[in-house]
Structure 1
């Protein structure tokens, strides 16, 4: 029985042994199969290396440039005011709208160079038409007659200290917006006469009674043309000039100090 098993096994393996002996000596050796990591080892080895994909950053949006607001159209009052200046032969020109920061700005500013009788505004000033017309009327009706009556001379120029400028009242931090920032104000520091005399806006000594009388008279009458009149004696901010503005108050109240 044992002999049969050996002979039987030899009979079964004989074809394979004959094929192996028939192979040439330089037959290629089969490439070893790569080792594959057990699935269980992967989770242990890489459990702390799981990567979460990050979202792709969005491109920065281009900064949008806001278009400036269009100025409001001229009101009927403004049209009438400009016509009055032309008729009075005030030398001025319409300038571009002013759009300042915050509340600063003038929709329809004009630049005044010379008043009707040839009186120069030195330097020319940017303001609203209403402010220019009040300045013209006050100069023609009050200042020029006072120069003639007191000094027997003619007015040549008005010293413009300030018209439009974007700032707060008296340039103080936290204060309300100034009327200068709306084109509604002018600061006047001197009056120049044809004969060469220069009258500075200040508190003149008693010996200079002509200048004192002149400044007092024109300051009093300024309140008929402007809603705010300040000057020497009002406060420390107006010791060397007249401040004249067109602010609108309740019930038409005027502040002249």
Structure 2
């Protein structure tokens, strides 16, 4: 009899687990961004696997550009540049259009995976945070550049920076509708709305980029948010500070 009770309990437990799995699957069918095997769609909200899928675009220039096309993102595909550790062939320059958040300087051309993550960050993180916290939308995202053939921190030896392949961009500030500027260097510290906004967009970036570094990381990042799509991100490896 005792053995029968044990078998029944196990069957009930198995049934409960199956029921939970079915409920979970039914929920996730309506959130494809939470499933690892679905295609990335920039029109969907950020999901559990969005960051991994963005990082996995590295090395798939055609697939990444097709993703931008489907999302209606206007861009110019750049010619391959550099050589060796400093070569990249998937850079894009986002076109500046009326009614669309611009990058300043506009000539920047990050890798396509970084550009795709930037647009999703703009749509799903930056603009909602600006509207909610600051009461105005962002018109311009300011940066300190993307491509730079150098090693990490400009050292003579060691690993090359993600900037060396245009797989990174450094964000220095935001200009709101009406002209007000939010600066990472000036506004990161404190308890004001500007600081709250900057931390919100940093935290949101952590879900989309393989690496997100802010002034909380070290003095070298006192004036910008470093965002990159290191390939380790496709396996879930993320650094967020």
The CA distance in 1 between the partners of 2:141 and 2:58, in whole Å, is: 29
Gaps of 5+ in 2: 1-56
Query: Relative to 1, partners in 2 of residues 1:150 and 1:75: Cα closer, same or farther, differing over 3 Å?
Result: closer
- Whether 2:87 is the aligned partner of 1:105: answer yes
Aligned to 2:184: 201
Aligned to 1:214: 197
SS in structure 2 of the partner of residue 176 of structure 1 = coil
Aligned residues of 2:101 and 2:138 also touching (Cα < 8 A): yes
The structure richer in helix per residue is 2
Q: Give the superposed CA RMSD.
A: 2.3
Query: Relative to 1, partners in 2 of residues 1:96 and 1:77: Cα closer, same or farther, differing over 3 Å?
Result: closer
SS in structure 2 of the partner of residue 144 of structure 1 = helix
Note the 1:37-56 alignment, pairs <5 A.
none
| Alignment: residue pair count | 182
SS in structure 1 of the partner of residue 182 of structure 2 = strand
The CA distance in 1 between the partners of 2:141 and 2:230, in whole Å, is: 22
The CA distance in 1 between the partners of 2:59 and 2:217, in whole Å, is: 36
Of 116-125 and 237-246, deviating more is 116-125
Tell which has more relative contact order, 1 or 2 (C-alpha 8 A, sep 6+): 2
Query: Relative to 1, partners in 2 of residues 1:79 and 1:196: Cα closer, same or farther, differing over 3 Å?
Result: same
Query: Normalising by the residue count of structure 2, what TM-score does the alignment of the two structures yield?
Result: 0.69
Aligned residues of 1:113 and 1:122 also touching (Cα < 8 A): no
The CA distance in 1 between the partners of 2:128 and 2:97, in whole Å, is: 15
Describe the superposition over 1:23-76 as per-residue Cα deviations: whole angstroms up to 9, x where unpaired: xxxxxxxxxxxxxxxxxxxxxxxxxxxxxxxxxxxxxxxxxxxxxxxxxxx999
The CA distance in 1 between the partners of 2:104 and 2:138, in whole Å, is: 13
